[in-house]
């Protein structure tokens, strides 16, 4: 049973287009034209909460889109730092942002370089990406006390952040949604490296494949079918609106820049919560369980499984996801 604050954080907000959800749903037929029509009215997938908290910041010469509710840069309050996954952006965490804002807690997130509305990089080594995340955070706050929330690839970035900066930041918690496989040895195969190099240099081949053989399927495309098990149609449309804007070069770049976690020497002293969906084909339950085991022995470690939930946890089962997140952060008070 959802509490009032969870219900408020997960209700669908009125899009700034002024059109009702029903009007929006009927205006986008699920056919081959969806991938182009869905870009005609971006205001159908924007709301005042997110726009009010969006800010463009400059980091290392890059324009980075951030989303946060930090008003006092000198505040020492705990900041919840969000890190999205491959092809994601700040919008995927919207209900969690709204929950934290309702509870008077601070949050901060960016579109990772190359995704959303953030500038691209020449290359995407994970160690460089986490430095950009940290630099972005400290353009708006001096606080060194963090709770890090990651999703999928973002869970790996969260651990790299921890290992690089644990001496400079106080990291109270790692909250990890649908973490990607703990090891991806296939990324080191010569054939894989050659293919990724070619796609990185000539991303139009990947663009062509995505446009003509996947996104032409609309809401039956892989980026929707594999990310949702039960999610409402509006959430699926919103995800599809984001999917068709993902840069192929960035996706390939992050795979090329993937840095394996040194599990042998990893020592985590923060509290850790891992949350998985039992219907997730991207990071199946057995993969997440292996990731959880690889985290080793820590002072406090918990594992949560959300029923009938796929990879886009916050929009496939928003009430259950936010309720679980609320219980975790409430236990910190």
Contacts of 21 (CB under 8 A, 6+ apart): 12, 15, 234
Q: Are 132 and 119 in contact (CB under 8 A)?
A: no
Helix H or strand E encompassing 313? helix 313-316
176 alpha-carbon distance from chain centroid:
10
216 part of the active site: no
Q: Is 258 helix (H, G, I), strand (E, B) or coil?
A: coil
120 alpha-carbon distance from chain centroid:
17
Q: Are strands 79-83 and 145-151 parallel, antiparallel or unpaired?
A: parallel
Task: Exactly one of 35, 66, 143, 152 is catalytic; name it.
Answer: 152
3-state DSSP percent of the chain in helix, strand and coil, to 5: 45, 15, 40
Q: Are 306 and 226 in contact (CB under 8 A)?
A: no
CA distance linking residue 5 with residue 2, whole number of Å: 8
Residues serving a catalytic function are 152
């Amino acid at each position: 049973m959802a509490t009032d604050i969870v219900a408020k954080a997960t209700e669908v907000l009125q899009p700034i287009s002024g059109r009702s959800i029903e009007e929006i749903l009927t205006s986008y037929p699920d056919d081959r034209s969806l991938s182009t029509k869905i870009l005609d009215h971006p205001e159908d997938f924007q709301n005042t909460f997110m726009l009010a908290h969006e800010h463009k910041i400059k980091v290392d010469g890059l324009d980075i889109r951030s989303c946060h509710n930090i008003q006092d840069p000198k505040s020492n309050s705990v900041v919840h730092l969000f890190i999205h996954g491959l092809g994601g952006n700040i919008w995927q965490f919207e209900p969690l942002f709204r929950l934290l804002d309702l509870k008077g807690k601070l949050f901060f997130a960016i579109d990772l370089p190359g995704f959303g509305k953030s500038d691209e990089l020449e290359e995407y080594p994970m160690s460089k990406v986490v430095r950009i995340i940290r630099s972005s955070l400290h353009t708006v706050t001096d606080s060194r006390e963090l709770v890090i929330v990651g999703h999928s690839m973002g869970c790996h970035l969260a651990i790299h952040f921890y290992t690089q900066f644990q001496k400079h930041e106080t990291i109270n918690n790692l909250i990890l949604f649908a973490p990607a496989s703990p090891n991806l040895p296939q990324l080191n195969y010569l054939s894989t490296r050659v293919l990724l190099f070619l796609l990185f240099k000539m991303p139009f081949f990947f663009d062509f494949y995505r446009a003509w053989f996947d996104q032409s399927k609309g809401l039956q495309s892989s980026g929707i079918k594999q990310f949702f098990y039960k999610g409402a149609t509006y959430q699926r449309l919103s995800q599809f609106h984001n999917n068709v804007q993902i840069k192929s070069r960035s996706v390939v770049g992050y795979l090329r820049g993937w840095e394996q976690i040194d599990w042998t020497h990893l020592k985590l002293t923060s509290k850790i919560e891992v949350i998985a969906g039992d219907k997730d084909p991207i990071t199946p339950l057995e993969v997440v369980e292996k990731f959880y085991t690889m985290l080793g022995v820590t002072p406090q470690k918990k594992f949560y499984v959300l029923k009938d939930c796929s990879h886009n946890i916050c929009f496939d089962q928003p009430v259950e996801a936010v309720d679980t997140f609320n219980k975790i952060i409430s236990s910190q008070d």
